[in-house]
Structure 1
Amino acid sequence: MKEVTPFHIAIPVYNLAECREFYRDVLNCEEGRSSDHWVDFNLFGHQLVIHYKPKLKNEVTHRNPVDGHNVPVPHYGVVLPWDTFQKFAKELKSKGIKFVIEPYIRFEGQVGEQATMFFLDPAGNALEFKAFKDIEQLFAK
């Protein structure tokens, strides 16, 4: 497997203060640079930037069926090491996170078997975190 290069993602939030607190205090992301319209975070070694954007009326999250669950689209997240995922899921449960899809094993016994979980940030952005016992399965067909 190739060396992983950190990615950068910018997401819109209509409630900068509430989302800042969520990413910093609930997800334990280290805060970086910021202004009154955006905040940088370290999300498991990747740069996540939340940018203020006014809320649009009637925004609806689309969902696609995957392995018997309705996956929110769009979504973003990080592929974590197996043990890190388990610890992170446990921490989120202890903090009372309301999951869209509770942590479970997707595609169990099949190519691409993985642990996954989905939840929303305070602005309604969908996050997925996943892990593979065998990271070589990440792009397996």
Structure 2
Amino acid sequence: MSLRPFHLAFPVRDLAEARAFYGGLMGCAEGRSSEEWIDFDFYGHQIVAHTGGEAGDRASNPVDGHDVPVPHFGVVLTMEDWQALADRLVAAGVEFAIEPTIRFKGQPGEQATMFFRDPSGNALEMKAFANDAMLFAT
């Protein structure tokens, strides 16, 4: 089965802020837009920022010694792309919910991960595996 791009729509408080964050800082190309929404190319997937407020749920669950924000979304990058994005976010002074780190060291599913929020409070997790075959490892 070939993988198809996912689609995710999410609330933002301000489209200009979303455009600066996703387009400017994250480097996501902008697609179609209106006065109420913007499509972004999120590493080959379609995400759509819709006006409508800030993210409401700020719950978390413990994972490997960190409080992981729930809900969250993101994408699995190559290790090289993950490191480049981590470096760009650190240089920009982004506040991390979980700093760029390696999770599950020496275990199945070892991965690079980082969590941060967009200006509207939506939590993102960007991750990478040294071996993509470990994505669903148990």
Map Cα deviations across residues 12-31 of structure 1 (whole Å, 9 max, x no partner). Answer: 11222211211111101101
Hey, what does 1:122 align to over in structure 2?
A: 119
Q: Does the aligned pair in 1 maintain the 2:11–2:54 contact within 8 Å?
A: no
Q: Residue 24 of structure 2 corresponds to which residue in structure 1?
A: 25
Q: Distance in 2 between matches of 1:55 and 1:26?
A: 19
* Pairs aligned (count): 138
CA contact (8 A) 2:30 2:39 kept: yes
Report the equivalent of 2:134. Answer: 137
Structure 2 CA distance for aligned equivalents of residues 60 and 116 of structure 1:
21
TM-aligned CA deviation for residue 3 of structure 1 = 3.6
Give the aligned partner of residue 12 of structure 1. 11
**RMSD, matched Cα:** 1.3
86, 91, 116: which is aligned to 1:89? 86
Q: Is 2:13–2:120's contact at 8 Å kept on the other side of the alignment?
A: yes
Paired amino acid for 1:21: A
Greater displacement, 11-20 / 78-87: 11-20
1:84 and 1:16 map into 2 onto residues whose CA distance is 26
- State the identity %: 54
Aligned-partner SS, 1:88: helix
Specify the alignment match of 1:37 in structure 2: 36
SS of residue paired to 2:48: strand
Cα distance between partner residues in 2 of 1:14 and 1:97: 18
Q: Offset at 1:83?
A: 1.1
- What amino acid sits opposite 1:105 in the alignment? I
Deviation of 1:9 (Å)? 0.8
* In structure 2, distance between residues paired with 1:54 and 1:128: 21
Give the TM-score of the pair, scaled to structure 1: 0.93
Any stretches of 5+ residues in structure 1 without a counterpart?
A: none
**Secondary structure, counterpart of 2:98 in structure 1:** strand
| TM-score, normalised relative to structure 2 | 0.95
Moved over 3 A (4+): none
